[in-house]
Amino acid sequence: MSDLEAAAVFLAAHAHDVGHPGTNNRYQVSAQTSLGNKYGANATLEAYSADLGQELLDKHQMLSNIDPCDRLMVLSVFRSSILGTDMAQHYTTSAALRHLPADFYIQDYPPKRPGRTQVNGDHAHALSLPALILHAADISGPCRQDVAMWLTRSLAVTREFIYQGDCERKNGLAITESFNRDVLLAEGLDGFKRREIEFTKGLVLPYYRDVERVWNGIAPLRAAIEENLQQWEQLDRDSLSRMWSAIFV
């Protein structure tokens, strides 16, 4: 990537969830929230974070000392990278990666950029290396330094899922099974472990492998995921049980 692209995705990483209310895109639309009504069903919260993130960049004059044309380019990469974290695009993105030549982003990037686009309002998202990297970062829990850090993060995410399930119940909406506190409590720690492994093996690890085929800079993180998957049984179950119980309070 160019220096400006690297700077743009660095800023996008900080801003990609800014303003996130703790419930997902589907909930925003189903509950007819103000954000759901404004942004619609396509990358609802990602578009909101991109807008709010740009407001913050402008407020703090983060891009005030660069050429206006460069500023527009940074903002374009900033926005497209954030829109690329929309999980609804995940499998489409993975399928598109498999049609690219091996080492595409090493040999042919940036002169050649795939032309596939996704649109939210009048904002286009392209399949670009910054967007791929930010999406990888967004689902990077399983490649943390060790499995304990991964699980601590996953428990925090599960707490957010439970919050959404409670919101769905309160608003008379169908409760998402994986967000239902009663289901999760019944499944217990073993169910949490099963869901984490299924998510990692079925979604995260395949994506990292798809990215690695076209950009091998992600290889160490892919290896970390595989190593963490082997470390589950070494965790202190009593400590993990206490952490698990705390997320339902």
pLDDT of residue 225: 96
Q: Which part of the chain has CATH 1.10.1300.10? A: 3-126
| pLDDT tens, residue by residue, 1-53 | 889 999 999 999 999 999 999 999 999 999 999 999 999 999 999 999 999 99
Q: E-assigned strands of 112-205? A: 117-120, 123-126
Say if residues 191 and 161 touch (Cβ distance below 8 Å): no
Closest by CA position to 85, among listed 141, 47, 121, 112: 47
Q: Identify residue 120 by its one-letter amino acid code.
A: N
pLDDT of residue 109: 57
Between CA 11 and CA 95 the distance in angstroms is 27
Helix, strand, or coil (residue 33): coil
Contacts of 65 (CB under 8 A, 6+ apart): none
- In the chain, the percentage of residues whose pLDDT exceeds 70 is 92
pTM for the full predicted model: 0.90
Contacts of 233 (CB under 8 A, 6+ apart): none
| pLDDT tens, residue by residue, 200-212 | 999 999 999 999 9
CATH H superfamily, domain 3-126: 3'5'-cyclic nucleotide phosphodiesterase, catalytic domain (1.10.1300.10)
Q: Are strands 117-120 and 123-126 parallel, antiparallel or unpaired?
A: antiparallel
Say if residues 74 and 9 touch (Cβ distance below 8 Å): no
